[in-house]
Structure 1
Amino acid sequence: MAPTSQYLSSADLKAVNDGGLIREDVMDQIWDISKIPLPYTDLVGSDSCDNAYFEWTTDKLSDPEIGGWVVDGADSDKNDSSTGARLGNHCGILDKEVQVTGRARASDTIGRGDELSYQVMMRQRELRRNVEANALGIQGSQEDDGDATPGIPAGLAAMVTQFDTGSGAAGGGFAAKAWTEITPGARVPLTETMVRDAQQDAYLDGADPTVLMSVPGVIRKLSEYMFTSSSRIATLTRETQGITGGGSATAVGSVNVFITDFGQTLTFRDNRIQQIYEDSAAAAAAAVFLLDPAYARITFLRGYRVNPLAKTGDADKRQMLVDWSNRVMNPDAHRVLLDIDPTAAVTFDGA
């Protein structure tokens, strides 16, 4: 073989200062795996409000009672009227800002036409994810004072009826026009009994939750439990058809629907946007929601928008903004199990 000094190789071309003479082979497309659904937002839908603090009213029938007979012709001396309750929430503003120089916009970039348009599109997606994450949080509500204190909408965990998991969690509930923040307790494993009891508690209140939503780790552990002998629910095999005739068989490795004791179909929904929070010992914990989608909304004072900002030089500025809140029509329509350990195996009753 001839010595390298006698021929020009691709290595020689790459070695030319600065950056070599071989064109880079870069696909003119951006592959983004983060464009994922927003399960809670898509599930409950949206409505609007006219003020930064907005209210609504709730009511429900009284519990059935035994007795209460009246004598024929007796005068009426009772008042069974009920006022119900008045609830409210504060709106909060979330935003993203971008600044792109004139030269950056004029440059021939990979995978996008105009750099400013691309940045606006991506930051708007991030903003929608932030709304989803905060909507499912444990924070209480806070009024905007127009100075240093921003408005904060209460998270769903603070607004819906809690079912006691034995973790020692406290907080939640509405008083004096504010929702109280959740103070986490010590995390506990999820049990089938917790889910059944919470569903029964809601059912006796007149509610019919149809969706169980939590972080992926909890949903996986719940599905894995459904295949165990103690669950009495699912088996690792099922009947398949068409195998002898050349058809294909399907391996089923998960359970995502649970028919409750009271006839409801409870669908398991994992939410990759829902956030883990810290329990009282700073360990990872998660909320598990039993939801009736008809009784919750994402509420907008100002919907998603793009505001051009004043130019102060050779750069274009944009602000992506949304002014929004949570609305839970009736807290008793839902249940939340707090401080669930997303890494622990699900059991029947914790034994």
Structure 2
Amino acid sequence: MSAPTNTLQTYQAVGNREDLTDVIYRISPTDVPFMSGIGKNKAKSTLHEWQTQDLAAAGNNAQVEGDDATADATTPTVRLNNRTQISRKTVIVSGTQDDGMDPAGRKQELAYQISLKGLELKRDMEFALTQNTTAVTGSSTVARQLRGLEGWVATNNDLGAGGAAPNYGTNTAPTDGTQRAFTESQLKNIIQLSWAQGGKPNVVMLGGTQKQTFSTFQGNSTRFDKGEDRNLTAAIDVYESDFGAIKAVPNRFQRARTAFVLELGRWKVSYLRPMRTTPLAKTGDAEKRMLICEYTLEAGQEKSGGAIRDLL
């Protein structure tokens, strides 16, 4: 059927108001599990330094009765450092858009854009804290760069063929090896190596594909599902190892080919300048804001955990 002759329809009408909801849908992930899960500290220079201490190796300590005491060898501290990195985002909004218009889904354009840039800056920081492989001193033309997890986890590594662990003492990046499947034996190996060094790893941080593989690990358990509830549990979030429980934490911003086994309490993000919003000079009919942060990664004791590298 067709409408009667001369029926005014929406196709011909002029002046109908637009139907624009007051909701803005966003799907881009903003969770930053590594930065959120570790401690915070204060840096006081662009070269942030700290010390670590090892004990002498344990041995059979048997002494002769009545013997004179002699001085034992001392184990000096190790002085480590990392460079601070500056990360920033900038917003410029015209006066007309900020003060004159009535945008849907937000009250004020400048405030909305600042909030978005804040989320983006956190994502960039998580990327640097997990993926950076070497520290860069920087110059008047080269930006300073912090060394992230990829370059810090040096002692306990499970590598693919041809792969090499990083050396933070010489500021040498890891070498990629042949990629291979993620297995439970690799995880157990790194947990055991970390425990032998004195660590108590409590988190395995990994990409989405490796998280799905992790959920297939059996350990020493048998799975049961109640058929009548029609629910199937396919995920494992906590792995009960011989040396304690390990929580699986997926991270979208780390390198997908690496699974980090970490004692989170040994790591800190140290801020020389915490994240702040700074007004920029007004040069015309626009408002300018800069979000800036200067920070670095402090590795309290990298041998408390390890890395399974070169994963498919």
Shorter chain as normaliser: what TM range? over 0.9
Supply the AA of the counterpart residue of 1:215: G
Query: Cα gap change, 1:50/1:5 in structure 2, threshold over 3 Å: closer, same or farther?
Result: same
Contact 1:167/1:338 (8 A) holds in 2:
no
Query: Cα gap change, 1:3/1:328 in structure 2, threshold over 3 Å: closer, same or farther?
Result: closer
Supply the AA of the counterpart residue of 1:254: A
Output the CA distance in 2 between the equivalents of 1:234 and 1:318.
56
Q: Deviations over 1:109-144 (max 9, x none)?
A: 111111111100100011011111111114211112
Give 1:290 shift: 0.7
Equivalent residue of 1:136, what SS?
Answer: helix
Equivalent residue of 2:51, what SS?
Answer: strand
> Which residue of structure 2 lines up, in the alignment, with residue 307 of structure 1?
278
> Which residue of structure 2 lines up, in the alignment, with residue 135 of structure 1?
129
Q: Deviations over 1:61-113 (max 9, x none)?
A: 222223x5332333344432110311110000011111100111121111111
Contact 1:165/1:194 (8 A) holds in 2:
no
326-335 vs 28-37, which moves further: 28-37
> Which residue of structure 2 lines up, in the alignment, with residue 116 of structure 1?
110
166-175 vs 152-161, which moves further: 166-175
Q: Deviations over 1:287-346 (max 9, x none)?
A: 1111111100111110111111111111111111110110110111111111111xxxxx
* Shift >6 Å, 4+ stretches: 1-4
> Which residue of structure 2 lines up, in the alignment, with residue 44 of structure 1?
38
Question: Structure 1-normalised TM-score?
Answer: 0.82
RMSD, aligned CA: 2.1
Question: Which ranges of structure 1 fall in alignment gaps of 5 or more residues?
Answer: 14-19, 277-285, 342-351
> Which residue of structure 2 lines up, in the alignment, with residue 93 of structure 1?
86
Indicate whether 1:71 and 2:59 are aligned. no
Identify which of 317, 324, 334 aligns with 2:295.
324
Equivalent residue of 2:63, what SS?
Answer: coil
Query: Cα gap change, 1:164/1:7 in structure 2, threshold over 3 Å: closer, same or farther?
Result: closer
Contact 2:159/2:177 (8 A) holds in 1:
no
Query: Cα gap change, 1:81/1:232 in structure 2, threshold over 3 Å: closer, same or farther?
Result: closer
Supply the AA of the counterpart residue of 1:233: S
Output the CA distance in 2 between the equivalents of 1:325 and 1:87.
13
Contact 1:141/1:180 (8 A) holds in 2:
no
Supply the AA of the counterpart residue of 1:190: F
Output the CA distance in 2 between the equivalents of 1:289 and 1:93.
25
Contact 1:141/1:181 (8 A) holds in 2:
no
> Which residue of structure 2 lines up, in the alignment, with residue 268 of structure 1?
248
Give 1:249 shift: 6.1
Equivalent residue of 1:6, what SS?
Answer: coil
Indicate whether 1:30 and 2:50 are aligned. no
Query: Cα gap change, 1:3/1:307 in structure 2, threshold over 3 Å: closer, same or farther?
Result: closer
Output the CA distance in 2 between the equivalents of 1:315 and 1:51.
34
> Which residue of structure 1 lines up, in the alignment, with residue 225 of structure 2?
238
> Which residue of structure 2 lines up, in the alignment, with residue 295 of structure 1?
266
Q: Deviations over 1:151-187 (max 9, x none)?
A: 10101121123413233222522226xx322222221
Output the CA distance in 2 between the equivalents of 1:111 and 1:190.
44
Query: Cα gap change, 1:35/1:219 in structure 2, threshold over 3 Å: closer, same or farther?
Result: closer
Contact 1:59/1:85 (8 A) holds in 2:
yes
Question: Which ranges of structure 2 fall in alignment gaps of 5 or more residues?
Answer: none
Q: May I ask how many residue pairs the two structures share in their alignment?
A: 310
Equivalent residue of 1:267, what SS?
Answer: strand
> Which residue of structure 2 lines up, in the alignment, with residue 346 of structure 1?
none
192-201 vs 78-87, which moves further: 78-87
Contact 2:40/2:270 (8 A) holds in 1:
yes
> Which residue of structure 2 lines up, in the alignment, with residue 333 of structure 1?
304
Equivalent residue of 1:128, what SS?
Answer: helix
> Which residue of structure 2 lines up, in the alignment, with residue 16 of structure 1?
none
Identify which of 161, 164, 186 aligns with 1:170.
164
Identity of aligned residues (%): 25
